[in-house]
């Protein structure tokens, strides 16, 4: 890492949101001028819903913060609604003496920067009343009991009263900052209550202003001739819409400059302000009448709308292509290359927990404090189009080639990969600072979370099916094949035999005195005797032989051997098997002995051999051995 380059952590949500994007762009410009680089930890959710599993997965990105590498931290506290999380990050920084700036929300121990919403909103109201002569005004507020909305309602009331216009609560409707409730409020005013159209409608944000203007124009009214419309926030859509919306825009450049200057002062020990207020500015445009609506303005608006629509269509087409491609991939390493081919990022790191596809756990414990494994598998990493080999790094390292990324002045953006609360890994981006590229990150992560989560679930299902299949043909106590598995694998073994001079040997083994062990010492010891017999069986057979427990104390072995070696094979097996049991008996300290009776039958392998008959004949030999052993013991 360059010694000249200092790092500022930035915690934010929805970086693709227009207002947040412009703040990040301005902040990065002033940060780079002072040899800082931004490490942005971005959640696609505001984390507002407590207990939401997906939010839990999103919040994992903030556990990647490398506090030991940071010179300062900027928290966009108003955009991350999990107050406990914000407090935890702030406290961690404070404990390490890392300067912290909190945007739009006061936090103990942190410097606060906020925008002067109320002052500029009052100036906007005064502009409509004093400069445009509006006497009858309505207000479209946001949500009830929302601090931003309530503040603007109070300012609206103050502006009316200061200009000698009577105020009452009926002048205010609540559009809740979005389309549906805004249309409902307009319908209540002008369709149900049959109110006259006012001189102006002051809206608490731009989205509602555009909805109000569209509603009135559909009703045959002209904006601003019949009714002035104003918004607030200064989103790009206000410049595309006809008429362009008069609004208020925050001074991002001033916010960024003062923030970086404050960080420099905090680091150098100079005095600094702990509570800073940055002004908005009024953007006088067409919807209040300050600017004319000209044909060239309309052409520009249509072109901007078409450009954005084209980008949106391209992104959605990419998502469809990716979903189709992912359905056909057969291995995990193929996934990142498919995604990068479609989305095209010049720099991307795709990293996952190293036990993510390791059975039987599949990384299921990776959530909350244990979100990431100590070692991370980097499946794909590319820096300014330079593709590097996959590798494994420690979590502390975060990025294999961090120094290479820090050579660029573009912010480094981290996002978590997750399936609901299960954390799978993380992605790192360093795109050009354009709105379309930041929006592309959001779509990319949505696609990654969906497709990668599907792959992870598919791997678990395949493993579960394999385990079920295994249980279906295996004895759960000994791990040997059961009767079903014995016949299935024996048939495969026979089908694979290409030697005409091959014999099949069937060995039948039966424990001696299992009922006595169960009745005298308990079924636990009986199970132990069965398991030890199984181990002895496996120790004296090869991988090509088939060993099975048919049930209770019955065991069967099948083997293909060269013709003429049948008895030799059986004697070798019998001696080894009984020796293994004798070794166990001498060392176990058990009050009982494990013994077994054994018989075998063999014949040349032909197309019409009778397996059931062979097993019966092997059993007959085993029972003869059992009778002989019993007689020997009695004598």
Q: Does 146 score more than 90 pLDDT?
A: no
Residues 520, 587: one domain? Answer: yes
We report the CATH number of the domain holding residue 163 as 3.40.50.2300
At residue 591, the pLDDT reads: 93
Q: What CATH number does residue 609 fall under?
A: 3.30.70.270
Residue 312 and residue 443: Cα distance in Å, rounded?
10
- Displacement of CA 561 from its chain's centroid (Å): 54
Rounded-to-integer distance, Cα 422 and Cα 195, Å:
53
Q: Is the pLDDT of residue 192 over 50?
A: yes
Do 134 and 23 belong together in one domain?
no
Do residues 191 and 238 share a domain? Answer: yes
Residue 2: the pLDDT is 44
CB neighbours of residue 66 within 10 Å: 15
Which pLDDT score is estimated for 383?
Answer: 94
Instruction: Supply φ then ψ for residue 499, to 5 degrees.
Output: -100, 125
pTM across the whole model: 0.72
Same domain assignment for residues 16 and 55: yes
- Beta strands of 348-491 (E only): which ranges? 348-353, 375-383, 386-388, 391-394, 412-419, 422-429
* In a shared domain, residues 630 and 568: yes
Bridge pairing between strands 100-103 and 111-116: parallel
Domain limits for position 220: 116-251+282-293
Q: Is 538 inside any structural domain?
A: yes
Q: What is the mean pLDDT of residues 34-40?
A: 97
Any domain includes 305: no
pLDDT over threshold 60, residue 298: no
User: Taking the CB of residue 162, how many other CB atoms lie within 10 A of it?
Assistant: 12
Say yes or no to pLDDT of 451 above 90.
Answer: no
Of 461, 496, 517, the position where a domain reaches its end is 461
Q: For residue range 226-280, what is the model confidence (pLDDT) as tens digits?
A: 999 999 988 878 887 889 999 999 899 999 999 999 999 999 999 999 999 998 8
- Give tens-digit pLDDT for 378-393: 999 999 999 999 999 9
Position with higher pLDDT, 338 vs 153: 153
| Phi, psi values for residue 75, rounded to 5° | -105, 120
What DSSP state is assigned to residue 64?
G
Picking from 230, 181, 185, 225, the residue whose alpha carbon sits closest to that of residue 205 is: 230
CA geometry: angle at 101 spanning 446 and 152, to 5°? Answer: 80
Reported as a pLDDT band with limits 50, 70 and 90, residue 63 is: very high
Q: Whole-angstrom Cα distance, residue 323 to residue 366? A: 25
pLDDT of 198 above 70: yes
Residue 445 maps to a domain: yes
Do 169 and 98 lie in a common domain?
Answer: no
Is residue 238 within 8 Å of 206, Cβ to Cβ? yes
- Mark whether 146 and 289 lie in a shared domain: yes
* Residue 222 counted as domain residue: yes
| Other residues' Cβ atoms within 10 Å of the Cβ of residue 20 | 18
Number of H-type helices and E-type strands within the chain: 18, 21
Half-sphere exposure at residue 259, Cβ-oriented, CA atoms within 13 angstroms: 36
Q: Are residues 604 and 587 in the same domain?
A: yes
Handedness of CA 570, 574, 575, 577 (dihedral sign): positive
Q: Are 379 and 367 in contact (CB under 8 A)?
A: no
Torsions phi, psi for 309 (to 5 deg): -65, -40
More confident residue, 450 or 483: 483
SS (H, E, C) 357-398: CCCCCCCCCCCHHHCCCCEEEEEEEEECCEEECCEEEEHHHC
3-state SS class at 417: strand
Task: Tell me if 21 sits within 8 A of 436, measured CB to CB.
Answer: no
At 103 the three-state DSSP class reads strand
Strand partners, 74: 10, 101
pLDDT, position 51: 85
Q: What is the distance between the alpha carbons of residues 46 and 36, in angstroms, rounded to a whole number?
A: 26
Pairwise pLDDT comparison (582 vs 50), residue with the higher score: 582
| For residue 224, cis peptide bond before it (omega within 30 degrees of 0) | yes
Largest CA distance in the chain: 125
Please give the residue that has the higher pLDDT: either 606 or 189.
Answer: 189
pLDDT at position 1: 42
Residue 269 lies in a domain: no
Domain termination site, one of 430, 461, 492? 461
Domains contained in the chain, number: 3
- CA 443 → CA 10, 314, 347, distances in Å? 21, 11, 16
User: Is 265 domain-assigned?
Assistant: no
Task: Identify whether residues 347 and 439 lie together within a single domain.
Answer: yes
Same domain, 577 and 500: yes
Last residue of a domain, one of 293, 326, 352: 293
153 with 86, same domain: the answer is no
Close Cβ partners of 148 (under 8 Å, ≥ 6 residues apart): 117, 142, 204
Q: Which residues pair with residue 555 across a beta bridge?
A: 509, 549
Kindly list the distances between the CA atom of residue 137 and the CA atoms of 140, 188, 397, in Å, as whole numbers in the listed order. 10, 16, 58
If asked whether residues 71 and 183 sit together in one domain, one would say: no
The answer to the question of residue 185 being in a domain is yes
Determine, yes or no, domain membership for 120: yes
The number of CA neighbours under 13 Å toward the Cβ of 477 is 19
Round to whole Å and give the CA distance between 36 and 406: 10
């Amino acid at each position: 890492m360059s010694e000249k380059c200092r790092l500022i952590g930035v915690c934010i949500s929805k970086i693709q949101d227009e207002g947040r994007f412009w703040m990040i762009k301005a902040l990065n410009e002033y940060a780079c001028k002072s040899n800082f680089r931004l490490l942005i930890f971005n959640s696609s959710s505001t984390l507002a819903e407590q207990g939401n599993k997906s939010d839990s997965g999103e919040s994992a990105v903030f556990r990647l913060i490398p506090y030991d590498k940071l010179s300062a931290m900027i928290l966009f506290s108003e955009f991350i609604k999990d107050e406990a999380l914000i407090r935890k990050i702030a406290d961690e920084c404070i404990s390490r003496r890392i300067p912290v700036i909190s945007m739009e929300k006061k936090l103990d121990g942190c410097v606060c920067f906020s925008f002067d919403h109320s002052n500029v909103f009052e100036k906007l109201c005064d502009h409509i009343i004093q400069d445009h002569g509006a006497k009858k005004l309505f207000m479209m507020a946001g949500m009830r009991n929302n601090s931003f909305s309530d503040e603007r309602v109070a300012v609206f009331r103050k502006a009316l009263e200061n200009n000698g216009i009577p105020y009452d609560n009926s002048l205010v409707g609540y559009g809740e900052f979005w389309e549906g409730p805004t249309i409902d409020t307009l319908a209540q005013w002008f369709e149900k209550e049959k109110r006259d159209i006012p001189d102006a409608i002051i809206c608490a944000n731009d989205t509602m202003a555009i909805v109000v203007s569209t509603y009135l124009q559909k009703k045959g009214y002209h904006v601003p001739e019949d009714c002035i419309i104003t918004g607030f926030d200064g989103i790009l859509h206000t410049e595309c819409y006809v008429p362009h919306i008069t609004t208020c825009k925050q001074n991002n450049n001033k916010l960024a400059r003062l923030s970086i200057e404050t960080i420099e002062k905090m680091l150098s020990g100079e005095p600094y302000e702990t509570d800073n207020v940055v002004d908005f500015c009024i953007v006088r445009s067409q919807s209040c009448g300050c600017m004319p609506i000209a044909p060239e303005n309309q052409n520009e608006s249509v072109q901007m709308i078409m450009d954005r629509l084209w980008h949106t269509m391209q992104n959605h087409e990419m998502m469809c292509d990716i979903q189709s491609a992912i359905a056909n991939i057969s291995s995990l390493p193929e996934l990142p290359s498919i995604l990068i081919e479609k989305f095209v990022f010049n720099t991307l790191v795709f990293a996952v927990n190293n036990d993510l596809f390791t059975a039987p756990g599949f990384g299921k414990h990776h959530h909350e404090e244990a979100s990431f494994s100590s070692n991370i598998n980097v499946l794909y990493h590319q820096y300014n189009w330079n593709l590097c080999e996959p590798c494994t790094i420690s979590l502390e390292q975060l990025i294999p080639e961090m120094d290479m990324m820090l050579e660029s002045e573009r912010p480094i953006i981290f996002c978590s990969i997750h399936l609901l609360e299960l954390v799978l890994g993380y992605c790192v981006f360093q795109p050009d600072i354009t709105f379309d590229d930041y929006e592309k990150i959001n779509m990319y992560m949505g696609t990654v979370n969906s497709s990668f989560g599907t792959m992870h679930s598919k791997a678990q299902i395949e493993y579960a099916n394999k385990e079920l299949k295994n249980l279906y043909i295996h004895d759960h106590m000994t791990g040997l094949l059961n009767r079903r598995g014995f016949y299935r694998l024996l048939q495969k073994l026979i089908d694979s035999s290409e030697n005409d001079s091959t014999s099949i040997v069937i060995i039948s083994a039966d424990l001696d005195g299992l009922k006595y062990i169960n009745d005298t010492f308990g079924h636990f010891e009986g199970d132990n005797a069965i398991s030890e017999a199984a181990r002895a069986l496996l120790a004296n057979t090869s991988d090509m032989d088939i060993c099975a427990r048919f049930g209770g104390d019955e065991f069967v072995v099948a083997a293909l051997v060269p013709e003429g070696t049948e008895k030799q094979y059986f004697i070798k097996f019998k001696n080894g098997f009984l020796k293994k049991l004798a070794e166990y008996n001498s060392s176990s300290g058990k009050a009982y002995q494990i013994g077994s009776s054994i018989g075998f039958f063999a014949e040349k392998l032909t197309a019409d051999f009778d397996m059931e008959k062979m097993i019966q004949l092997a059993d007959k030999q085993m029972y003869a051995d059992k009778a002989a052993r019993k007689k020997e013991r009695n004598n």
